[in-house]
Amino acid sequence: MWATIGALGIVAIEASYLPQIARLFQRKHADDISPFFPGLNLLGRVLAFLYAIHLGETVFIGGFMLGIVFRSTFLAQVLYYRNDRPWLRRVLGRRLRKPLGEAA
């Protein structure tokens, strides 16, 4: 019973990122979101995942794996939709979209 409660809890926590992922996909811009938030959150999930592996906690291993997927998706979206930043233009070598307010 406790394993089921723990599994439901971790899934609920990790799934809390889905509305934000859907919203970013719909809005197509993330200029108001710092990449440090999802980046640090992803780092925390990876470290917690490694700790759960060390302890052999299968419920948390599965939950943290799900969290890593969602947080990686969110971070990738933030970086992709903030692509009008000069550092990303240098990395990618091109602009992927026109900045907000610029005529098409």
Domain count, the chain: 1
- Would residue 7 count as lying in a domain? yes
Token pair 């990790």: residue = 14
pLDDT in tens, 19-65: 999 999 998 888 888 889 999 999 999 999 999 999 999 999 999 99
- Would residue 100 count as lying in a domain? no
- Would residue 37 count as lying in a domain? yes
Distance between CA atoms of residues 10 and 93, nearest Å: 39
CB 98 within 8 A of CB 82: no
Distance between CA atoms of residues 42 and 83, nearest Å: 20
Instruction: Give the domain extent around 31.
Output: 2-92
- Would residue 97 count as lying in a domain? no
Q: What is the CATH number of the domain that holds 24?
A: 1.20.1280.290
- Would residue 81 count as lying in a domain? yes
Closest CA to 75 of 43, 52, 27: 43
Residue 86 zone, left/alpha/beta (φ > 0; ψ -120 to 50; rest) = alpha
Helix (H), strand (E) counts: the chain:
5, 0
pLDDT in tens, 61-101: 999 999 999 999 999 999 888 866 666 666 666 555 555 55
